[in-house]
Amino acid sequence: MTLYLLKRLAVLLASTAVAAVVVFAFMALLPGDPAEIALGVNATPEAVAALRQQFGTDRPPVAQFLDWSGGLLQGDFGTSYVTSSPIGPQIGDRLGVTAVLVLGGMAVALAVAVPLGTYAAVRHRDPLGAAISAVSQVGIAIPAFLAGILLVFVFAVQAQVLPSGGYVPFAEDPGEWLRGLLLPWASLGLVQGAVLTRYVRSAVLDVMREDYLRTARAKGRGSTGALWRHGLRNASVPVVTVLGLQLATLLIGAVVVERVFVIPGLGDLLLNGVAGRDLLLVQGVVMVLVAAVLVINFVVDVAYHLLDPRLR
């Protein structure tokens, strides 16, 4: 297990390093000069040149990369071109908001998927079980932002029971914080929940066909009891893998959902950064997102090992 951990850790670090190079290279390829954009239609060639020098974008790319990656190793993301303030704390603030959004969305997804998926598997011949299966198929086809727009239309614009957007920090007003997050959580969670429902259903179905479950039932446990005692842990192995993949999808989905709901999270920061060609900021945010996805995959792999003794 220790050896496995070390191996996985080495892969994690190597992928992060490769990701840093790729992220930087993409930013360098992005058309548009940060200095030109900062000065807008009032720009003169001299002012643009001076600003380029101030930003350090007039140096060779390799020097810029070494500077940036060296800073990253020390936890320094550099200074934003647009706001002239350090990027690290900005990302930190926004990451908290996005994390709440993603974890809430995950919780909604699980709350939907586990009971519905299990029910659909156990009662897969009932009309209701089949209906759940069919509806989840439809849910898969809806992107999170569309779900968001529909939810806003129904619950905010028509019914006027929830705000259409905006974010109130928890410390300021916990009630409003929750109200503001319900629709974003729902739009992220329901779509992912639909996907997850299908995995839960097929995982539970597989388990139900296993010999050991039949044996358990033969030994006198009720069918629910047998599933509860012996089935769920086994069914959870493929579900955890999917969950990890979905967490990454949720993180990316959050970028778009934040814009729909006017939530000041990482996605909002990222899109602003792209529009203003605040390249260092964009690099920083993308790096954090990439690192988060890599860490999630790492944790999933390790969890997989813990859940499935055969892999140890």
Q: Which residues, numbered 266-285, are part of the site for other proteins (CB under 8 A)?
A: 268-269, 271-272, 275-277
29 binds other proteins (CB under 8 A): no
Report the C-alpha gap between 132 and 112 in whole angstroms.
Answer: 11
Tell which one of 259, 301, 302, 307 touches other proteins (CB under 8 A): 259
90 or 236, CB closer to other proteins? 90
Eight-state DSSP code of residue 59: S
φ and ψ at 245, to 5 degrees? -60, -40
Give the shortest CB-90-to-other proteins separation in angstroms.
8
112 or 287, CB closer to other proteins? 112
Q: How many residues touch other proteins (CB under 8 A)?
A: 71
20 or 194, CB closer to other proteins? 194
Annotate 52-76 with b (16+ C-beta within 10 A) or e (fewer). Answer: beebebeeeeeebbeebbebbeeee
56 or 301, CB closer to other proteins? 56
130 or 306, CB closer to other proteins? 130
How many CA atoms does the CB half-sphere of 275 hold within 13 Å? Answer: 6
Stretch binding other proteins (CB under 8 A), from 210-218, 255-263, 282-290, 292-300: 255-263
Give the shortest CB-175-to-other proteins separation in angstroms.
3
Stretch binding other proteins (CB under 8 A), from 20-28, 176-184, 199-207, 235-243: 176-184
Site map (CB under 8 A) of other proteins, residues 130-169, x = contact:
-----x--xx-xx----x-xxxx-x-xx--xxxxxxxx-x
**CA 301 to centroid of chain Cα atoms:** 17
16 or 272, CB closer to other proteins? 272
Asked if residues 175 and 270 have their Cβ atoms less than 8 Å apart, the reply is: no
Asked if residues 96 and 170 have their Cβ atoms less than 8 Å apart, the reply is: no
Tell which one of 33, 67, 76, 206 touches other proteins (CB under 8 A): 33
Asked if residues 157 and 164 have their Cβ atoms less than 8 Å apart, the reply is: yes
Determine the residue type at 138.
Answer: V
Smallest CA-to-CA distance from 248 within 167, 184, 188 is with 188
Restricting to residues 40-99, which ones interact with other proteins according to CB under 8 A? 40-44, 47-48, 82-85, 90, 93-94
User: Which runs of consecutive H residues, i.e. helices, occur in 123-143?
Assistant: 127-140
